[in-house]
Structure 1
Amino acid sequence: MSAAEWKERCGAEWSLRGAPMPDGPDWKAVYEAKPFGRNLLKNPNPQGLCKDTPPPEPPMSEAPSHGPPRFESDGDFSGWTTNTEVLPFDTSGIPEGAVICQLPTYSWFSMEQIVDLKAEGLWEELMDEFQPEILVQDWYEESQLHKFIYQLHVKLLGEDKRTVISEHTVNPTEDLSVYSHRWKEVSHVFSGYGPGVRFVHFLHRVKNQFMFDFFPTLFTGSSVIVRPTKTSA
């Protein structure tokens, strides 16, 4: 197929009505990259879980392990940059003079990725003029571990990877009076974000607890998906 034929095929299959399609891009490479409708995050389920199956109940040991404290979740986190922040003990609710035998230790476990939109097959004119919708989605385990167990921060970045063109933050508060132990969805659609977007920075954090045993907050189904839909300002 000629370059013009690859270009025509891309426009027809993705229904890019009104989208700029200059002659500059390698349209065969763009077509083979399949930039629309697929998850652009690498290794989106590092804990091997699926949102269509309820999260597993934490194992209950017959006796505390009394082993060294753990702060990081299990999984294959290739493709992610991870970080662990151990939090100080919270003694705000303990009466003065009370004897403390054991306090839970909490930690934030952070995972982040940067998606290069041009490397994934999207072209500059499309991002600057057409501005397709960018859907961000994540699922985390509802639990009674703590009032705050999940955070999400997504930024649309410019060419220098420092300029923030648009961003979205989620920091939900959990209802500790109800225990349904299900997956909770977090999602957002970026639209009308303006020209210059070249990267998506995806960062989420889950809170883990150690008290005799390790109790993590599980997550699954992290995704960044570009849709061939024109956005409105």
Structure 2
Amino acid sequence: MKVHTLFWISVSSLLVCTMSASEWKKKCEEEWGLQGAPMPDSVDWRLVYEARPLGRNLLKNPSPHGNPLPESDFDYRTRDGPPPREPQGDFSGWTTSTEKLPEKKTNIPPGAVVCSSIENSWFSMEQVVDLKAEGLWDELLDEFQPAIAIQDWYKAIQLEEHAFELHVKLLGADKSTVISEHSVQPTEAPYTESATWKMVSHMFSSYGPGVRYVHFKHRLKNMFRDGVGADFFQTLSSDSSVIITPNHPPVTPTNTSLSLS
């Protein structure tokens, strides 16, 4: 007995399978607004289109401290149980490190009993984005130099004047040559209760040829208070992004606040 297997293929899928190299190239050009950009025939435009390197966030796990804004209501203080001593969150996709800071010294009268101590630390999170691995090509990066938009949201512990830093570098093929860089270190108003997330951003453009990697790093200050009233105060980050766009939209203000209260 013969067994016949039937396969159903949609018209759209059939068209995709039969598209020529030039048609894939035209599809990329039209959908991403690449008119005038160098688009050599040596590039596999189907793979580029499927990778979709333009207009999407190239960072992995962009919201390590909870849901993206404004839905997140994650509190920077631990409310239940004993306080942790280390940052809490999902840090997959990030390289992390902790820098302990010297304990602050205060004038303590002779014979006084110290009931608590305070330990500050910087918690660093960083990623390196390989632009070519994400689907971009040499000629686009070197000649057309598409805009590279950087954005980050943070919620400071409000106990320190400097609780957040963002450092971004555009690197060459050797991962060590810095072609362009941008850093921001906002100043906070300490000891003020706030449920405000703040956004920092920057747009790289006309940065010169040779860029192949984006090194994205932010430093978040945390505070552990031991003894009486023990607690852990944590600076949070959310919605970090590195987005490549062929257009050059206006730069978003570099100090924007969003109140969640």
TM-score normalised to the size of structure 2? 0.80
State the SS of the aligned residue for 1:187. Answer: strand
The within-5 A match list for 1:43-192 is 43-53=61-71, 55-57=73-75, 58-60=77-79, 65=82, 70=85, 72-91=86-105, 94-95=106-107, 97=109, 99=112, 100-176=114-190, 178-192=192-206
CA distance in 1, matches of 2:28, 2:95: 33
State the SS of the aligned residue for 1:113. Answer: strand
One-letter amino acid of the counterpart of residue 68, structure 2: C
Q: Does the CA-based 8 Å contact 2:142-2:210 persist in structure 1?
A: yes
Percent of aligned pairs with the same residue?
Answer: 58
Relative contact order, CA 8 A, sep 6+: which one is greater?
1
1:23 pairs with 2:41: yes
CA distance in 2, matches of 1:36, 1:52: 25
Measured on the aligned residues, the alpha-carbon RMSD in Å equals 1.9
1:207 to 221, 227, 237: 221
CA distance in 2, matches of 1:131, 1:201: 17
Cα deviation digits, residues 15-52 of structure 1 (max 9, x gap):
11211111111100000001111000011112223211
Q: Which moved more, 1:46-55 or 1:110-119?
A: 46-55
Structure 2 unaligned runs (5+)?
1-18, 250-261
CA distance in 1, matches of 2:190, 2:64: 27
Q: Which moved more, 1:178-187 or 1:222-231?
A: 222-231
CA distance in 1, matches of 2:67, 2:161: 23
State the SS of the aligned residue for 2:120. Answer: strand
Structure 1 unaligned runs (5+)?
none
TM-score normalised to the size of structure 1? 0.89
Q: CA deviation at 1:141?
A: 0.5
CA distance in 1, matches of 2:47, 2:150: 25
CA distance in 2, matches of 1:96, 1:78: 42
Q: Does the CA-based 8 Å contact 2:167-2:216 persist in structure 1?
A: yes
CA distance in 2, matches of 1:213, 1:30: 49
State the SS of the aligned residue for 2:74. Answer: coil
Instruction: Tell me the matched-pair count.
Output: 224
Structure 1 stretches of 4+ with a deviation exceeding 4 A read none
Structure of larger gyration radius: 2
